[in-house]
Structure 1
Amino acid sequence: MKIQQVFTFVAYPQSNGQVEVTNRTLVQGLKAVLPAEIGLESARVVFYDEDNDARRATDLDLLEEKREAASIHVEAYKNRIAQSYSRRVIQRNFHVGDLVLRKVHEEQRGKLDPKWEGPFKVIERLSSGAYYLENA
């Protein structure tokens, strides 16, 4: 039983770079193709031409405008959400010396713990609408 164990390497140094050149060519061809488009040709693959680089450069030139338009869209969306939320908020004003309860955050309380803690005494009102509280 003359069994001989031989180890091989994936990279074979004497291959004069042919595999690397072939792989580079394949990768360049696949850069514009999504994995789903490899098996089933889409319109993007069928109508691909060498002028793609010029169109891509044009898209890159217009990228800043597209980002700005998206930013404006996001800001408008945030404003609509804030207005929707503000319609449901009931404004309450407290005076110095009033006793109030403070809501406990969900992550700080257990399933059967109360939702409110206190009472706390209002000792100062800030211009932003926040209050400094003191244990009563």
Structure 2
Amino acid sequence: MAYPQVNGQVEVTNRDIVDGIKARLGKHRQGWVDELQHVLWAHRTTPKDSTNETPFCLVYGTEVVIPAEVLIPTNRITTFDEQQNDESLRENLDALEERRTIAHIRQAEKKQKIANHYNKKVKPLDFQLNDLVLRGN
């Protein structure tokens, strides 16, 4: 109750998870516990519009290697060098705070764009209503 914006974010996340479970279950609507880990994985590894980052990346500082990349070798897997990977992980961790700050700025910009768009639609209506009240119509 103290943080309505956070509550809204939680509601959106929960809705996304429930929608993902429903999509995976189809009409059966049973066995959702077995599907939960897959839906959470998808949620954590999908870039969000507001930040252009994945939640996984904002927590760990690097992008995840999806199981399909291990089974079907991609350039990322075939050119893997453990020593270089360790160095890259350290660099990513060093830059993690900056990455989070940039994501926070992007999120604030997105919120501002949405607010501006909303205000363009609502403000003219408010002015029209005020004009009617002032004219006594």
TM range (shorter): 0.3 to 0.5
**Structure ranking higher in helix proportion:** 2
Which structure carries more relative contact order (alpha carbon 8 Å, separation 6+)? 2
Specify the structure having the higher radius of gyration (Cα): 1
**Structure ranking higher in strand proportion:** 1
- For normalisation by structure 2, the TM-score amounts to 0.41
- For normalisation by structure 1, the TM-score amounts to 0.42
